Amino acid sequence: MYKETKYIVAGDKSLVVEFGNSISPGINAKIRSMVEVLDTEKIEGINEIIPTYRSILVLYDPLIIGFKELVEKLKIKENDLKDSKESEITIIELPTVYGGEYGPDIDFVAKHNNLTRDQVIDIHSSRDYLVYMLGFTPGFSYLGGMSEEIETPRLQTPRTKIPAGSTGIAGKQTGIYPIDSPGGWQLIGRTPVKLYTPLEDPPVLLNAGDYVRFVPVDEKEYLDILRKIEKDEYKINIIEGGEVREGD
């Protein structure tokens, strides 16, 4: 985290509030606090706020508020964060079937890291992952905290269609595809839980600041849960105030 936050011009209608030059839970917590403050204590002239791993893009109307005035108001809001407390931890459990047709790249991930398939599953499911941000497609979660033991580069040639619920690895990151879409991540598993339901409020299950816990299930359990979800009979296990697992 920078000693002093940077406010950077990003065109004539936007600026970047940059809190640091690395991906870390501390920086992300400050970003979430800042977004929460700006959502509740509106600054006239701001049209949209887009959080990222280590910064916030602020889109504003220069006819209502100028760059210098906006920076001063944002600095005041930032100073108010010093006494803010971290919100209660929310852990969302996602049953996940690994390998086979659901995770066709798990053997490559294992071979790339000199591991067995079971070791990849154990490592991937042994820790909880912070949702740093959403993007790419509605509800796509970028998760932080993956073990270096299973780091794997993206596919050289992206797939044109990846099934919703697929869990993948790209470099140091892991994430979940909420809808059918193209993608280049190494697929290791799939959850039957719907992460994006456009007709519901809210439409996305995961939010920045939540933690995801992957719970391994076999194919029979996966299909059983899928049937329950289709009948609206499945209840997602959400743990409020739980202890975050950081892996072995």
User: Which pLDDT tens digit goes with each residue over 215-231?
Assistant: 999 999 999 999 999 99
Class of CATH domain 90-240 = mainly beta
114 residue type, one letter: N
CATH number of 6-83: 3.30.1360.40
Which DSSP letter does residue 127 get? B
| pTM of the shown model | 0.81
- pLDDT tens-digit series, residues 74-109: 999 988 775 444 567 899 999 999 999 999 999 999
Would you list the DSSP string of 179-232? SSEEE-SEEEEE--S-SB-TTSSSSBS--TT-EEEEEEE-HHHHHHHHHHHHTT
Distance CA 95, CA 93 (A): 7
Asked if residues 101 and 58 have their Cβ atoms less than 8 Å apart, the reply is no
Specify burial of residue 234 (Cβ count, 10 A radius: 0-12, 13-18, 19+). middle
If one counts every other C-beta atom within 10 angstroms of the C-beta of residue 88, the result is 9
Quick one: tokens of 124?
């991937």
Q: How far is residue 229's CA from residue 223's CA, in Å, rounded to a whole number?
A: 10
Q: What confidence score (pLDDT) does residue 130 get?
A: 92
Distance separating alpha carbons of residues 147 and 61, to the nearest angstrom: 42
CATH 3.30.1360.40 positions along the chain are: 6-83
What is the location of CATH 2.40.100.10 in the chain?
A: 90-240
Q: How high is the pLDDT of residue 24?
A: 80
